[in-house]
Amino acid sequence: MRTILIPTDFTSVPLLLLKHAATSMNEELDVIFMYSTTLSDSITDLLFYSPKKIIAKVISQDFSEGCIIMQNRYPDKIQSIRYEVFTSAHANSFAMLAQANNVDEVLLPMDYNFHLKHLAFDPTRYIIRSGVPVLEVDLRLPVRISEHDLIASLMTN
Amino acid sequence: MVVLSLTVYYFVTRYTFTDFYRRLETRAMLAARITLENESSSNAYREIREQILEKLPQEKDYLFAIEPGKTFLEESRELNLPVSFFTNIVNGNVSEYQKDNVFFAGAKYDDDTKSYITIASAENYYYSNHLVTLKRILLVAVIFVSVLVFSASIVFSRYVFYPVSQITSQVKEIGTQNLHLRLNSTSQNDAINELKNTFNNMLDRLETSFATQNNFISNASHELGTPLTVIIGEAEVALSKERTTAEYKEALTTVLHEAERLERITKSLLFLAQTGFDGKKQKMEILRADQLLWDVKETIDRLNPKNKVFIDLSLIPDNPLKLKIRGNAQLLHLAVSNIVNNACKYSSNQPVQVSLATTNNQVIIVVKDNGIGIPEGELDYIYDPFFRASNTKNFEGYGIGLPLARNIMRQHLGEIVVTSIHGQGTTVRLTFPLEIVAGYFIS
């Protein structure tokens, strides 16, 4: 059993990383999709802070369907998929999050710019500095990846 | 209102009656005491009565001794009271009786030696006067409030339904001649505005379908007319003078070619019309989506040997049960092969990727090419029969494949989504509902 963490911007790229992991690793996988976002300044928002709500706000139907496609394809490999919210821009706090979730490895896409919406940020440098084992994957993505149809781009890349 | 007034009136009447009877009873007892007690206390009673108790209008007292065997027939006749009034008192009860405006109350009074019946009567001033006033007040109040409520509700309902009647009058103005008119929607976010926007959206759709209809006719006549013109022209030229056999052959070949094209168009039109009917029952069976793709690949290979269709099964599920769809094999084959064929055609036989995947309730087929794409502004019209994008001049075709495919997808409760970047390629996503098949079917 291996726990992998994939920083996600809810495009097809994290799913393609998952696909890569499922094809290349010979172990059962616990998958954590980590969404990195700064918190809102509003006191009310902080009072009613809920990671579930934050995820629900940004996740798309296509992304969840993509997860189901992957689970259907590799039912024996992918044991579970869950989501984490990473809110502080520090290497230490990422190391703590990784430790708390028993993360064995972090998968990062090579040469990829995150699609950042709302308050999201790119956690790559904190992940690299944290000392958690990182696997950089060259997805050989086309220069421009169509985000109109997430499932189609998941299926054709 | 009426019920309230009646209730008030009823309870006030009841209260007045009981209250008045109680007063009469007190007076009757007092009268008996004045008459029957010894002098000193009778004087005291008389004083109480005269000084403290209010004198009632038409107040009268009667006192009758009760003797065994007496029937009170005479007394009852004299006072115009029923005999039961007296017998009731003799039995020890309190009797009450009302005659028009005059009220009687009687009780039994026990002296040391004898029993007496004491009766007091008086005109009920409250009944005759107060209740009439109350009646009048309530009646006026009921009428006044009814008028007030009625007029207020009319004004209010006019105010509330004003926007609705406005919509009605505006919608009435829109006919086939002026479909471009729209309702004036405001920026307010309320139900009425939502209704207006819904109407406007519906008008948008209506206008588009009218435009499509007009387009279809002009396109169809153009598409059917072109081969006919060629045939006629060719025949006229050939007949204009004597020709050699080779020339006749050439002319006839052209005619045949155009006639064949005409036949293809009419055939596909017929197909389009047939698939457009929803009520028509097609034979539905359970198919495997991957099998469908292989069949399509075979057909394309036969039609166009230079194609580079690549079927990607890297995402198909382990469980073959998740590949089942319900549909008519021929129609689905036609739809998918149309789309794959388009992909090959408009990318000049560059690689076309066909992928298959399933979620828990859908089977998804994605066809991706690196062809000429569809200009952004024209994506809305690709399902119109005979529509051809502006960049397709160099490709043969007559714009029936995609509308046909969409009709077929609709029949199968599926969905077709086309995304395209002009000059870079087109991606078509077909989504079918997954057919739930019983578990024993595992092969």
CATH 3.40.50.620 fits A2-156, yes or no: yes
Superfamily grouping for domain B285-441: Histidine kinase-like ATPase, C-terminal domain (3.30.565.10)
Strands B362-368, B425-433: pairing kind? antiparallel
Q: Which residues pair with B414 in a beta bridge?
A: none
B137 touches chain A (CB under 8 A): no
Contacts of A37 (CB under 8 A, 6+ apart): A54, A58, A85, A86, A87, A118, A119, A120, A121
Ordered by start, the domain boundaries in chain B are 2-131, 191-276, 285-441
In a 3-state reduction of DSSP, which class is residue B354? strand
- The packing angle between helices B401-411 and B329-346, to 10°, is 150
Q: Of B22, B20, B10, which is closest to residue B131 (Cα–Cα)?
A: B10
User: Could you tell me the sign of the dihedral formed by the alpha carbons of B302, B308, B314, B317, in that order?
Assistant: negative
The ipTM is 0.77
Chain B nearest-CA distance from A152, in A, is 6
Contacts of B90 (CB under 8 A, 6+ apart): B66, B108, B115, B117
Residue B410: its pLDDT value, please? 83
Residues A23-62 pLDDT 10s:
888 889 999 999 999 988 888 888 888 999 889 988 988 8
Chain B nearest-CA distance from A146, in A, is 9
For A123, half-sphere exposure in the C-beta direction (CA atoms, 13 angstrom radius) is 34
Interchain contact, B359 vs A73, CB within 8 Å: no
Smallest Cβ distance to B315: which of A73, A148, A149? A73
B96 DSSP assignment: E
Distance CA B404, CA B407 (A): 5
Strands, E, within B298-344: which ranges? 309-312, 324-327
Residue B443: its pLDDT value, please? 41
Q: Which of residues 287-346 of B touch A (CB under 8 A)?
A: 312, 314-319, 322
Q: Of B258, B210, B196, which is closest to residue B231 (Cα–Cα)?
A: B258
Are the beta carbons of A80 and A31 closer than 8 angstroms?
A: yes
- Provide the number of CB pairs (under 8 Å) joining chain A to chain B: 68
Cα angle: B296, vertex B297, B302; to 5 degrees: 100
The percent helix, strand, coil of chain A (3-state, each to 5) is 40, 20, 40
Residue B441: its pLDDT value, please? 46
Question: Looking at the domain that runs over B191-276, which CATH code has it been given?
Answer: 1.10.287.130
B128 DSSP assignment: I
Distance CA B177, CA B302 (A): 50
Phi, psi of B285 (to 5 degrees): -140, 170
Query: Residue A141 has which token pair?
Result: 């993505």
Smallest Cβ distance to A155: which of B360, B362, B364? B364
Interchain contact, B368 vs A148, CB within 8 Å: no
For B138, half-sphere exposure in the C-beta direction (CA atoms, 13 angstrom radius) is 17
- Chosen for mutation from B362, B368, B415, B426 (greatest number of chain A CBs closer than 10 Å) is B368
Chain A hits for B366, CB-CB cut-off 8 Å, are 149, 151-152, 155-156
Query: Residue B42 has which token pair?
Result: 């009778």
Residue B281: its pLDDT value, please? 60
Q: Which of residues 388-427 of B touch A (CB under 8 A)?
A: 417, 419, 421, 424, 427
Query: Residue B214 has which token pair?
Result: 């007009």
Chain B hits for A148, CB-CB cut-off 8 Å, are 419
Query: Residue B269 has which token pair?
Result: 């039109």
Residue B277: its pLDDT value, please? 58
Task: Identify the segments of chain A with pLDDT beneath 70.
Answer: 141-148
pLDDT in tens, chain B (443 residues): 889 889 998 998 888 888 888 888 888 888 888 888 777 888 888 888 778 777 777 888 888 888 777 777 777 777 778 888 888 888 878 888 887 778 888 888 887 778 888 888 888 777 778 888 888 999 999 999 999 999 999 999 998 888 888 888 888 888 777 777 888 877 777 888 888 888 888 888 887 777 777 777 877 787 788 889 989 998 999 889 888 899 899 989 989 988 988 888 888 778 777 766 555 566 788 889 889 999 999 888 888 888 889 898 888 888 888 888 988 888 888 889 889 988 998 888 888 999 998 888 889 999 988 888 888 888 888 888 778 888 888 887 778 888 888 888 888 888 898 988 888 888 899 999 988 776 544 44
Distance CA B262, CA B226 (A): 9
Distance CA B274, CA B280 (A): 8
Interchain contact, A149 vs B417, CB within 8 Å: yes
Interchain contact, B359 vs A75, CB within 8 Å: no
In a 3-state reduction of DSSP, which class is residue B122? strand
Distance CA A103, CA A81 (A): 13
- What is the number of helices (H) and of strands (E) in chain A? 7, 5
